[in-house]
Amino acid sequence: MQIVVVGSGYVGLVAGACFADLGHDVIVVDNDQKKLAALNRGEVPIHENFLPELLQRHRGARLRFSDDLQGAVRASAAIFVAVGTPPTEQGEADLSYVESVARAIAGAINGYKIVVEKSTVPVYTSDWVSKIILRNGAEHGQFDVASNPEFLREGTAVTDFLYPDRIVVGADTERCASVLREIYAPLVDGTYYLRPDAIPRPDRAQIPPPLIATSAKSAELIKHASNAFLAMKISFINAVASICESVGANVQQVCQGIGADTRIGPRFLNPGIGYGGSCFPKDLLAFRAVARECGYDFRLLDEVIRINEEQRQRFIRKVRSALWTLRGKRLGVLGLAFKGGTDDIRESPAILLVQALLQEGCEICAYDPAAHERAKEALNSSVHFAESAYEAARDADALLVLTEWEEFAALDLKRLHSELKYPIVIDGRNLYHPEIMAANGFTYYSVGRPAVSPDPAASATPVPGVKKSARS
């Protein structure tokens, strides 16, 4: 099928590359000439596993890039809208880019088309897109508007698209739903997974994935409600971690106990410094705004947001309790992206913590495997950027772990100890076993677990091994 994806950002680029891998002919449209030129040269603008391989495989063949939206619409049967929906000052989603695309689509309709919301948008957006297209010259029956929300996690977006937990198709006519079923048929009928060049299957993948057919409004709500619920799980376990610290319990043991309940499950029960990124903060504000418009005071979302913000303050207090005063202290920082596996620093709790520590008068030396350049733009010249984790730790009063990169969990603890001025590690992601850290001579602070210090009676021989990150 001929498909156009409007927007070459994180969602649009991944969707376009994956649709091409399913066998469709895809045109990704953007009005950013600089970005288009880079994509046509084969440059990959985001750090995303398997995306470079798909772009190299399909660029110039099944996957093309263009600035001609109307020409692409005329040549396509399905138009996926994946433009930005940033929050306004009031927390509502700014839908001006979606409206602009809808107006442009109206002037190019030359036969039956489906217009599919791929961006995260509030309920009723499908109705408004339909009205805008009609107001700008299209006729009833020439098009349908559907909602097909994405459930992509940065760092695993390609495998999330090709091996999804579910495919949600929100369409109000059977004609529209049948087109979307055809688009996703290689996944739903399992034929994609039989190909020798298919992207490798991740753990726990359900093959084939279920396709859930709903109304457009239900699909719009599914996306916002899903992200709100996941953010709530993170804030809930962070609140539990705070209680664990107060009473001397171990939050990871608590997580194991409650996560074993099949009604709850272990995923997203990861205490740390809070959620961030381009989705959760924005989507919670937008969902709360929608609820208020509907006359419902969704105070649970207010508390989820408050706990998340408080978690960063608790971590600052943890750093202060370890070092007493902060002004003039040299801190090594591991991780600046909002999560491991991506270079995205949007709403990154790591960046927000670094900015807060700079205001406290700290000197920061930071290292991130992928977010180096993006963080430079956000932090200007206030931070020294290291080329390795060990360089970030060199002569530091303490080392802060702020992002759960797997390479951080595999560091040589003996070398790390020798690089630090004082062997103090404050771990905001619980990457290490406290007992192992103490045995290797560290004073170690983590989230929701008792702090530990070196045992004077223990052997001086370091104990090898650290726990790998178990992040979702």
**Phi then psi for 100, rounded to 5 degrees?**
-60, -45
- Choosing from 244, 255, 279, 365, the catalytic residue is 279
For residue 183, which of 53, 15, 55 has the smallest C-alpha distance?
A: 15
Element (H, E) at 57: helix 51-58
Largest CA distance in the chain: 82
Report the b/e string of 127-144 with b at 16+ CB within 10 A. Answer: ebbbebbeeeebeeeebb
**Cα→Cα distances 462→413, 438, 456, 459, Å:** 8, 10, 13, 8
Label each residue of 347-401 as H, E or C.
Answer: CCHHHHHHHHHHHCCCEEEEECCCCHHHHHHHHCCCCEECCCHHHHHCCCCEEEE
Q: How far is the C-alpha of 106 from the C-alpha of 63, rounded, in Å?
A: 24
Across 173-210, b (16+ Cβ under 10 Å) vs e yields eeebbebbbebbbbbbeeebbeeeeebeeeeebeebbe
Contacts of 319-325 spanning 24+ positions with Cβ under 8 A: 319/357, 319/398, 319/400, 319/426, 321/445, 322/398, 322/424, 322/426, 322/443, 322/445, 322/451, 323/397, 323/398, 323/424
Q: Give bridge partners of residue 333 from the DSSP assignment.
A: 366, 400
Does the active-site annotation cover 279? yes
Residues 237 and 269 sit within 8 Å (Cβ to Cβ): yes
Pairing of strands 63-66, 78-81: unpaired
Q: For residues 343 and 85, what is the distance between their CA atoms, to the nearest angstrom?
A: 20
Q: Which amino acid is at 181?
A: R
Residue 120 CB partners (closer than 8 Å, separation 6+)? 85, 93, 149, 150, 223, 224, 227, 279, 282, 283, 286
Residues noted as catalytic: 279
